[in-house]
Structure 1
Amino acid sequence: MLLAVSTGVSAVELRGHKDRLFAYPGILSVAEKGSFIVVDYDKQRDIHRRDAEPERRVQSKYVSLAVRRQSRVALHEAGGRAIETGVTGDYSKARFAVIFVHGRGGDQRLGMNDHTFGGNFNRLKNLTALNGGAYLAPSVKSFDEAGAADVRELVLAGRAPVVLACASMGSMICSKLANDPAVVPRLAGMVLMGGAPDMGIARSTAVKARVPIVFTHGSYDTVYDWQDQKSVFDLIRRSSGDYPAQFVLFNTGSHGTPMRMTDWKQTLEYVLSR
């Protein structure tokens, strides 16, 4: 259940799921009034001692498979196109929704896989289900206007506030939809995981509307340099001294680390509280 507490902002507390296993393993530093967080990441601990088969199958204690009873693959018809989408929960009745957009070479199976990325997608599905939300993972065929149009249709198909979570090249979809006047009012927040830096998002309709944004990135990412993405974050923060943006840097993490290590309870509570 979502619990609202009156503080400086309306805080949201989600019912947890395996929080001890998925909480950040150690905070190395916190700066910029709590908005820039460096998290300890250790490949031996966070992959080899966590996975039964490294990068292929996490240990069973990290997953709860009962959520599969609420999960399915659906075809969403829009504009003459069928969008294959993994779904957990009832989007039509959800209190909030998370739409995950994969990167290049992926499809809905990446976001619905219970056992890869340390079980983090299984946790995300369980968190949304336990808290009256819905989770959608569409197959995005391209990262151009056509791909953005497909995700736009999914955002507008429901009534719930949407957290749009985009990984790697999928962040291009987030950037495009950040300027869509129909989509922005529906957004509860954005999460950019190992995303492609785009300074344009700092001038977007979403930022003007103060949509909360969380960046998670590995410091050893060789696809998109974290410092370039931090520059986007800094520009957004400069647009307003108290802009609701957070940057979580995984020290020594690689390009895929954010999908494994992002603490979804902390992240969702952050964006839904603002």
Structure 2
Amino acid sequence: MRSLFLGALAFVCLASTASALQLEPYKDDLFAYPGILKTGDSGDYVVIDYNEMRDINGRDEVPERRVKQNYVSLQPKRSQKDLVVTTDKGPVKVIAVGKLDPGAAVITIYLHGQGGNRQQGMNDFTFGGNFNRVKNLMDRNGGLYLTPDFSDFGDKGEAEVTGLINYFKSQSPRAKLFVACGSMGGSLCWRLAQDAQSAKNISGLIILGSLWDDHFIGSPSFKRRIPVFFGHGSRDPVFAIDKQEAFYQQIRTSAKGYPVRFHRFESGNHGTPIRMTDWRGVLNWMLSVAP
């Protein structure tokens, strides 16, 4: 009887741990997808209805510059800090929101694209308030959100981001760490996936309106089966959606049951996934399947 009791107690503890690793709802009704046109691959492939008049003009007070106030909470400003983190790779400028003390429950890092900087992913009012939502999700759930500057999308930038990841993982070693990459920032996501040390630290990749890399297949991250999410606009003029969808299918067929999802924003443009992706849905899925 005692062994049965201990077994039941262990099960309850595991269940409590698992439930603790799900982000609580935050403005889910406002940020819900406006309509689902199609699903496939047992729900991993989703086509979302997107309409600029509704999803930009109807959502923004000033189109593409300032979202309506009800989409935003400035509560994370209380914990927001602009820092310079000294790493083995040199100093890295980064803005942080949430639990900077050791023991963050989850860490999300956003890497900007060409022409961006660390301010982009911290802007509360652009991209329909979607960055403000991820800030709130991290801040309200004992997590940490980071947006760094980096020198380039090559070796030096990779080394800087790697140093940043190593530093914050050393502070919160039990935290699941997710890297989201917008546009050209995706080249850094794929570089990190190739690095054996980074692959141990990263629990998932979020690829938003970005590129593909066939070398991911067989990489340390692929072998570890870290989840990958793709968000892409069907009218993206920078990175063709057909090639990104083909890469998604390549991952699926290269390893049975690989945790990969693709959300296609029908009629969406290059920046649409940054505006429209459901951060809570994506991160909770990753928390449930990450190694």
Counterpart-to-counterpart distance in 2, 1:233 and 1:117: 25
- Pairwise CA RMSD of aligned residues? 1.8
> Quick check: 99-108 or 86-95, which moved more?
86-95
- Alignment partners' CA distance in 2, 1:141 and 1:227: 30
2-structure distance, mates of 1:244, 1:157: 27
* Aligned pair partner of 1:142 in 131, 134, 152: 152
Distance 1:173 1:252, change over 3 A: same
Residue 14 of structure 1 corresponds to 23
The one-letter amino acid of 2:116's match is G
Note if 1:40 corresponds to 2:55: no
Give yes or no for the alignment of 1:62 onto 2:71: yes
Kept in 2, the 8 Å contact 1:4–1:11? The answer is: no
Unaligned runs of 5+ in 2: 1-12
User: Which residue of the partner structure matches residue 167 of structure 2?
Assistant: 157
The answer to whether the 8 A contact 1:11-1:273 is kept is no
Aligned pair count reads 270
Report what 1:231 is aligned to: 246
Matches within 5 A, 1:103-252: 103-158=113-168, 159=173, 160-252=175-267
Match of 2:6 in 1: none
State yes or no: 1:28 paired with 2:43: no
Q: Secondary structure at the match of 1:125?
A: helix
Q: CA deviation at 1:78?
A: 2.3
* Residues in 1 aligned to 2:149 and 2:60: alpha-carbon distance in whole angstroms: 26
Q: Which runs of no fewer than 5 residues in structure 1 stay unpaired?
A: none
Shift of residue 10 of structure 1? Answer: 8.4
| Structure number with higher strand proportion | 1
Bigger Cα Rg = 2
User: 2: distance between equivalents of 1:4 and 1:57?
Assistant: 43
Checking the alignment, whether the CA contact within 8 Å between 1:51 and 1:58 is kept in structure 2 is: yes
Shift of 1:61: 0.4
Contact 1:233 1:247 (8 Å CA) reproduced: yes
Cα pair 2:21 2:105 within 8 Å, conserved: no
**Residues 186/262 of structure 1: CA separation in 2 closer, same or farther (3 Å cut):** same
* Residues 34 and 172 of structure 1, relative CA distance in 2, 3 Å threshold: same
Between structures 1 and 2, the one with greater helix share: 2
* Structure 2: distance between partners of 1:148 and 1:226: 25
Letter in 2 for 1:206: S
Q: For 2:24 and 2:78, how far apart are their aligned partners in 1? A: 19
Alignment deviations for residues 50-82 of structure 1 (CA, whole Å, 9 cap, x no partner): 000100000000000111001111111224632
The answer on whether the counterparts of 1:218 and 1:250 sit within 8 Å (CA) in structure 2 is: yes
Aligned to 2:96: 87
Of 76-85 and 14-23, deviating more is 76-85
Q: Given the superposition, is the C-alpha separation of residues 126 and 11 from structure 1 closer, same or farther in structure 2, using an over 3 Å criterion?
A: closer
Q: In the alignment, residue 144 of structure 2 is paired with which amino acid?
A: A
CA distance in 2, matches of 1:11, 1:212: 19
